[in-house]
Amino acid sequence: MDAKSQTELPGVPPPPRVRRARWSTIAVGVSFLALLHFFVSPSVRSIYRLHGPPLDTSAPVCPQANPVAPEKNGALWNELIAFHATSEFITRAVGQLSAAVQIPTETFDEMDPVGEDERWVTRAPFIEHLAAAFPLLNASLELQRVNTYGLIYIWQGSDTSLKPLLLMSHYDVVPVAPSSADQWTHPAYSGYFDGENIWGRGSWDDKSGVISKLVTIEALLEKNFVPTRTVVLSFGFDEEAGGAHGARFLAPALLERFGPDSFAMIVDEGGGFVEQFGGIFALPGVAEKGAANVNIEIQTPGGHSSIPPEYTSIGMLAALIVHFENNAPVPSLEVDTPVFEMLQCFAVHAPDVPSVLKRAVLRARRSRTALKLAEAMLLEIPAVKAVVSTTQAVDVINGGVKSNALPEQAMAVVNHRIATQSSVNTTLTRDAGLFKEIAARFNLSVTAFGELLTPAAAAGASYGSLSLRAPETLEPSPISPSDTPPFHLFAGTIRATFHAARKDVKGGEKEIFIAPGVMPGNGDTRFYWDLSPHIYRYGHDNLIGIGEESGGIHSVDEHIHVGAFMEMITFFTTLILNADEAML
């Protein structure tokens, strides 16, 4: 495909040909799949070709929605696409994102409540910028501020019987480490536009999401569009620290205003699309993995280090961690999970998938042998293994206070990301069993998640204690179904946007396929589950042929290609117009 944007944007240089995948989508793992044929011996491939079970052709695998372009609003849609390509519009949109990036809205871990922690006040200039940059939107939409800095915009539709469309983003950013300030090509909060890329913290994650939605609505208002279906925007301000002060308050406000299961669909930041095995795949996140932080603490008697015991609390903790890491959860590929459905889409629609993998995946529903063969190949790839299974990572460790004093306490924190087919209870129960097993070696009593696992008498006679706590846990999210009208509309919108972006461009005959994705991390939608069963984590920000240079999320040199940013605007324009005339 020639590196051109959707309509040869005036003054915008041709974007690069291929971009890399965003960290937050399963596409990160898929980028390694091309190595699969190295992991399966020729003898295994040969045997499987001869003796594999027949393909299951009783039902179509990974059927694709037709592209959906606005019909009733078709003339307006075409007019807006042309408008988006003008130098006037591009300059204005880039300027609005650039100005937003120049306002540092950093979120730190463990911030005190709004009103008590002065670091929240950085949000006020950002809100003032939105009021000035989008005059029609602010005059036409109702704005509800929640917990001071959370923003809900309501664009009231003419038909109140239709469930609204909810679009989410967050405008906070991860901090820029002072030690890295001189490593940036352009200063971290410059919002510098070099003619190709907008640079700075938040230019991609996720101020581009906020500004692209607002730019979309401002342009629709300029064209005198009046929505039939209500459109709601919800912008959090602390997603980078878990949303405890933003989304945790925004979701109840929306629930009180609209009620449970009140939205036709919810769209938040998340996956995009990438090119693999000769096929192009969009991967909207239909689910998120769960999460749990397990705090491990060992208490033992103190004393002078000149007369040490055989093991100190730190040594015991080290042994526990080694045992824990040597007994990680055994991953398995399971049918009827989003990851399996995604792999089936690759097998059906990507022309260059290794034949042995293709056959194994397509036969896996009927053959356990085929399922295990596919599993053996795929789990050789660390990124795929991580998204399929419950993971564990020892991320924090502390202990001791002085070199000549025996440590009375040692602690560690294990972070789990819980597979969609598992649960918090399964994960914590497994942890408790592992630690109880080895704690007995050191005569430690064990209290796991509020329950004493050792007999009371033994606990009293023990040398020390082992305590496990999980102060914050999150179950895997509900899985949004992919066989419903909302998903078909969403998938069709992605395909229509992709086609429109490549109209009259050499290579435009390329097709895009939609596959369900899983988010390994957690965003603000964790608080929105009661509002709709149709939640899609997708930003249309991983663009084939546009924005190879985009990148740097949470790191030095974060930036986004102007073509990628403009296509995001086209996507949200298409989605709003499609949802406005659909029966959902």
Under a CB-based contact definition with an 8 Å cutoff, are residues 389 and 419 in contact?
yes
Cis before 172 (ω within 30): no
Q: Which residues contact 572 (CB under 8 A, 6 or more apart)?
A: 167, 212, 213, 216, 540
Q: What's the mean per-residue pLDDT of the chain? A: 88
Q: Which residues contact 534 (CB under 8 A, 6 or more apart)?
A: 263, 264, 265, 266, 480, 481, 484, 486, 487
Q: Any idea what the Cα angle at residue 239 is, between residues 238 and 243, rounded to 5°?
A: 75
pLDDT at position 411, please? 98
**Could you give the CA distance from residue 193 to residue 190 in angstroms, rounded to a whole number?**
9
**Could you give the CA distance from residue 305 to residue 408 in angstroms, rounded to a whole number?**
11
pLDDT at position 273, please? 84
Please, which pLDDT band fits residue 503 given cuts at 50, 70 and 90? confident
Annotated binding site: 170, 205, 240, 268, 554
**Is residue 264 over pLDDT 70?**
yes
**Could you give the CA distance from residue 363 to residue 369 in angstroms, rounded to a whole number?**
9
Residues of the chain with CATH 3.30.70.360: 290-329+390-474
Q: Give 35-56 pLDDT, tens digit per residue.
A: 444 444 443 444 444 355 555 5
Query: One-letter amino acid identity for 567?
Result: E
Spell out where 89-149 has E strands.
Answer: 142-146
pLDDT at position 382, please? 83
pLDDT at position 24, please? 41
Which class does domain 74-286+477-580 fall in? alpha beta
Cα 52 to Cα 34, 57, 358, 372, 409: the distances in Å are 22, 15, 12, 12, 56
**Is residue 377 over pLDDT 60?**
yes
Question: Average pLDDT, stretch 452-458?
Answer: 74
Residues of the chain with CATH 3.40.630.10: 74-286+477-580
**Is residue 162 over pLDDT 80?**
yes
Instruction: Name which residue leads in pLDDT, 510 or 89.
Output: 89
Is position 483 annotated as part of the catalytic site? Answer: no
Spell out where 300-383 has E strands.
Answer: none
Query: One-letter amino acid identity for 18?
Result: V
**Could you give the CA distance from residue 416 to residue 407 in angstroms, rounded to a whole number?**
27
Out of 59-68, 173-182, 212-221, 328-337, the most confident range is 212-221
Instruction: Name which residue leads in pLDDT, 520 or 105.
Output: 105
Annotated binding site for Zn(2+): 170, 205, 240, 268, 554
Q: Say which of 206, 218, 238, 239 is annotated catalytic.
A: 239
Q: Tell me whether strands 150-155 and 517-519 are parallel, antiparallel or unpaired.
A: unpaired
Residue 225 DSSP class: -
**Could you give the CA distance from residue 582 to residue 584 in angstroms, rounded to a whole number?**
6
Print burial letters for 389-418: b (CB count within 10 Å at least 16), e (below 16).
bbbbebeeeebeeeeeebbbbbbbbbebbb
3-state DSSP helix/strand/coil percent for the chain, to nearest 5? Answer: 40, 20, 40
Q: What is the pTM of this model?
A: 0.89
> Cα-flanking dihedrals φ and ψ of residue 76, to 5°?
-65, -40
Q: Give 227-263 pLDDT, tens digit per residue.
A: 999 999 999 999 999 999 999 999 999 999 999 999 9
pLDDT at position 276, please? 77
pLDDT at position 439, please? 92
Q: Give 73-117 pLDDT, tens digit per residue.
A: 999 999 999 999 999 999 999 999 999 999 999 999 999 999 999
pLDDT at position 280, please? 92
Q: Please name the fold of domain 290-329+390-474.
A: Alpha-Beta Plaits (3.30.70)
Is position 239 annotated as part of the catalytic site? Answer: yes
